[in-house]
Amino acid sequence: MAQDTRERLLDQAEALFAERGFYGVSIAAIASELGLTKQALLHHFGSKEKLYGEVLKRISSRFMALREQLSDLEPVQGLKDYFLALLRKDHLGSHATTVLMRELLDNKRRADTAGTWYLRGFLENLIGQVKEVPLWRDAGDAAALAFVYQILGAINYYEISQPTLTGIFGPDFYRRLDTNYPDQLVQLIEAGLAAGPPSGN
């Protein structure tokens, strides 16, 4: 398969997994959306699980590339810019963060049988970034990951709330909220990093 064709297929599959989740779309539906027969899609990727794995692997590579772009920044600024990029989807594609959140938060049925954890490097990298902050240098990995998960949760909760908040308050209000939310997220990050890890962690 030509590389540009493969990338186009992965782009479309990523959009479908973002919209419907791993369980919300069948291999036949994916093939139909991609303009392929089910047999052709299975020939190229083997199974829905392998296609999903390729999508996750590509997203993980983008996350790591973004980290490299920010590696020269002071640790607190680097973390703020990294989390803001996840919120805004900068350099990641419009569906990457949604697929990430679905994989982290909606994975109960697959967790016991997953052979490869494509996002492990992403999480380990974030743990490392947190532990570069002076107050967090002696923190345990679990404490650093707990902080990371609070921020990822804030990003995910905001993203999935957009239709409901727009319906309740209207689009003009949501646009104002969308203008303010990044600053609120930065304040949350700064406060957590400045507080340091809980004692004994």
Residue-wise DSSP of 107-174: -HHHHTT-S--TTHHHHHHHHHHHTTSGGGTT--HHHHHHHHHHHHHHHHHHHHHHHHHHHHH-HHHH
* b/e burial code for range 6-45 (CB count within 10 A of at least 16 → b): eeebbebbbbbbbeeebeebeeeebbeebebeeeebbebb
Q: Which residue has the tokens 């962690």?
A: 201
Average pLDDT, the chain: 87
- The residue with greater pLDDT, 76 or 24, is 76
User: Tell me: the pLDDT tens digits for 134-166?
Assistant: 999 999 999 999 999 999 989 988 888 899 999
pLDDT at 101: 77
pLDDT at 201: 66
User: Tell me: the pLDDT tens digits for 172-199?
Assistant: 999 999 999 999 999 999 999 999 999 8
pLDDT at 111: 63
